[in-house]
Chains A and B, each alone.
Chain A
Amino acid sequence: MSDSTQPAAVAAPRRQRRSRATRMLHSPMFFPLLGFIAVFIIMSLVNDRFLDVSNIENVARQGSVIGIIAVGMSFAIFTGGIDLSVGPVMALSGTLMAGLMAAGWPAPVAIAAGLCVGSLFGAFNGFCVAFGRMPPIIVTLATMGAAHGLALLYTGGYPISGLPSWFAWFGRGSLAGIQVPILIMLLVYAAGYVVLHHTPFGRYVYAVGGNEEATRLTGIRVPRTKMLVYSISGLTAAIAGLVITARLMSGQPSIGEGFELDAIAAVVLGGAAISGGRGVVLGTLVGAMLLAMLNNGLNLMGVSSYLQDVIKGGIILLAVYIGRGRDA
């Protein structure tokens, strides 16, 4: 760069950006937001209670657990992987927190232990994927069952109750007028955004998803990156475990069944490529809220829960169809 024949004036035009309209259209957020707005408008038209402030807050709170899990899932999917174990890991971390507190441990220690176990479980997934060179879908399918089993073993199959009453704050409290689960979710998204877009590790996540071989040859420690990615996924599952346990005020070993599918749906609705390398975590937030809004709206309309699943499935297919190929 000491090349004095290249004055700054030559370099400057490279900085020029595409017009605002094109940038918006090409943003990975464009279609998710469009879908979100469309569903929002439809829901508020067919149901007059939908727009109540308290209902909107309900939507966000109901979506917060899946929303938090979906952050870790985004990391995994951006690297071209997947984490199916998130639901049981959430249950395992949650029951552990509940069990330790019920046994009289100080709450902060119990919470920290739950978060650690979630992260370590994720790290184990990451170890198998990165160093054992096994496909993530198989690894996490196996550990999904294992985590569920561990949660049942730990609790003996029964819910754990008798939690200190103030613990409910994490699930039902509010701070500065906003419900705590929503706040926690927003914090997790903010952290995810900063990590993905403002740290080298975040860039490596996308690089591994975009071209793993090239990333390795260029001198990036791919196994380390993957370990960290699955650890993060375990951690966010554990955070979701904290919220849901506090919400229910009991440690439920079998909760979270099928949550991995909702989390994957949120990531994909958020505009990410399932093959990796493309996607944004704020899109995932939009995707998670879109799902929550559908659940809530259909409930308000009195649609049977069986039919709700069919409608949700159809909407996911439609969303993926519309978003498909625009960045091919």
Chain B
Amino acid sequence: MTAVLSLEHVSKGFPGVKALDDVSLTVEAGEIHALLGENGAGKSTLMKILCGIYQPDEGTIRLNGEARHFSSYRDACAAGVGIVFQEFSLVPWLSVVDNIFLGREPRNRLGLIQRARMMAEAYELFDRLDIDIDPEIQVHRLSVADQQFVEIAKALSLNARVLVLDEPTAPLTPTEVERLFKIMRRLREGGVAMVFISHHLEEIFQVCDRITVLRDGTYVDSCAVTETDHDALVEMMIGRKVDNIFPPREPRNTNAPILLEAEIGMKHATHTDSLTLAKGEILGFAGLVGSGRSELAMALIGAYPTRVAKIRLDGREVRFRSPADALDAGIGLLPEDRKRQGLILPFSCGDNITLNHLKQFYRPAPFLSRSREADTVDAAMDQVRVKAPSAETPVQSLSGGNQQKVVIARWLDRGCRILIFDEPTRGIDVGAKSEIYALMKRLASQGIAIIMISSELPEITGLCDRVLVFSHGRIVAELADGEIEADTIMRHAVTEPRRDDVSQPVTEDAR
């Protein structure tokens, strides 16, 4: 059986970096092939070459044994290669069916769009995938998962024989991941060859057939899923053994003084949630995506509209009108979406790091001392081990993990007493993850109180002293010590909160 897709001895360099060095990948029909590697290992670069977005310096792409050259994404699509990007390429205000056929709408003899034909084809595609989405609905009204399924449908409508899924599961809830896998298995039966990228190794074992591992732009190995296990894969990816990615647990200090007490009611909700945070503790916000965790965190720093916001810091009542007020009081938030909410992309690493504490570098105010700024940046970048050629490197040229480290570096040595990490390890490889965990632990041991919002249960159970579980926009459970277990958290996260356990009178569904 010949391979549907083979990439042979591909190399690609960018100014100053060798992104790929002699990498090969072979995928057969009806196979789900996992592409593994740390951030910056070259996975995305390889996929962009496959899709004609980059041209390889060396090496060949073969489809069904035939050497092909793609000079653009359009070329690759026409040849039957489809890709679902990490950042979706759908137009939010167009309908599902308009998105699927965008740019190649079927037309009648007068040049007008044949809507009925588009609809029929869309229904046929959705039947094939066994998904139930209204083709007339505007894309922005769909859930992230449904948007992804539309992307897949779009790729298939182009008769894709090879489908690349670049970290499709990252924004999905566990149930949605199951639905995605169901679709992937269906496509496998239909003979589609798939390349699947994910940082969640469990998923690889659930759905994939074969695995190829890259490290630092080079090919490490390929094997069948059945021939390997979790630890062996991790070792292949980072080139050394990792015993435990979480720092050792220490007994919780139950006598630590309470730093923060908050009672928050969202603008359009009828209930209020209250929480406390002690000095030096790591408090987890667990729950499904969209359960109100990030909103509550944002409300804490004055970045989200609230109806009630009683916040006491060290027993003193405070009021935050904006994140700047919260920063003045020593509370910082590292947002969920680093590109949209965290980084100033046109800025260098250094300028990103010092942005919110420039006043430390006054030479006489209001002028800045560049050299003092540079010293601090160098130290901070070393502390979190940002891999970048220099502090002047534009932050947008870094890999996701290193970008996240830049965001973290911004908040170190700021004199903050409370740090809120929203999904600190999303899209980050194992090595960098364990560094970030150790760093959070170290900050906590220095007396900084940490709130960690995470959708990854191992992270919550492995790191938190106490956990608040969210469901449907409110806190439904508080767990501590021995109660912090994955299944307990999950059970609370999926329960509908009772109507009567609220401290405010309820008017019928104020939403």
Contact = CB atoms under 8 A, between A and B. Distances in A.
Interface of A: 1, 3, 6, 10-18, 194, 198-201, 203-204, 206-207, 210-211, 213-221, 277-278, 327
Nearest to B361: A200
Contacts of A211: 340, 343-345
Given A15-B374, A216-B323, A203 B410 contact: no
Interface string B376-402: 111111110000101110000000000
Contacts of B322: 216, 221
A207 B344 contact: yes
Contacts of A218: 323, 327, 332, 342, 355-356, 410
Contacts of A277: 344, 346
- Chain B binding surface SS class: helix
B49 to A, nearest CB: 19
A198 B368 contact: yes
Contacts of A18: 392
Contact of B390 (A10, A15, A200, A221): A15
Minimum-distance CB pairs A-B, first 10: A219-B327, A200-B358, A11-B378, A210-B344, A1-B379, A277-B346, A6-B382, A210-B346, A221-B324, A218-B356
A221 B303 CA distance: 12
B329 to A, nearest CB: 10
**Interface size class for chain B?**
35 or more
A221 B332 CA distance: 14
A219 B356 contact: yes
Contacts of A11: 375, 378-379, 382
Contacts of B351: 203
B366 A199 contact: yes
B390 A220 contact: no
B340 A1 contact: no
A67 B346 CA distance: 26
B326 interface: yes
Nearest to A26: B394
B355 A220 contact: yes
A213 B340 contact: yes
Nearest to B413: A1
Contacts of B413: 1
A10 B382 contact: yes
Nearest to A215: B344
A1 B341 contact: no
Given A211-B344, A211-B345, A217-B335, A6 B323 contact: no
A221 B327 CA distance: 10
Contact of B383 (A6, A17, A199, A210): A6
Contact of A200 (B328, B366, B375, B380): B366
Given A1-B383, A198-B367, A17 B347 contact: no
Nearest to B416: A219
Contacts of B328: 219
B23 interface: no
B303 A216 contact: yes
B96 interface: no
B323 A214 contact: no
A1 B380 contact: yes
B359 A200 contact: yes
17 contacts: A11-B378, A12-B378, A15-B391, A199-B367, A206-B344, A206-B346, A207-B347, A207-B355, A210-B344, A214-B344, A215-B355, A217-B301, A217-B323, A218-B332, A220-B324, A277-B346, A327-B346
Nearest to A197: B368
B35 interface: no
A220 B327 CA distance: 9
Given A6-B382, A6-B383, A217 B303 contact: yes
B382 A199 contact: no
Contacts of B345: 210-211
B392 to A, nearest CB: 7
Nearest to A202: B368
Interface-central residue, A194, A199, A217, by most chain B CB under 10 Å: A217
A7 B97 CA distance: 59
Contacts of B346: 206, 210, 277-278, 327
A217 B333 contact: yes
B369 to A, nearest CB: 9
A15 B378 contact: yes
B137 to A, nearest CB: 27
A14 B359 CA distance: 23
B14 to A, nearest CB: 14
B382 A220 contact: no
Interface in B227-276: none
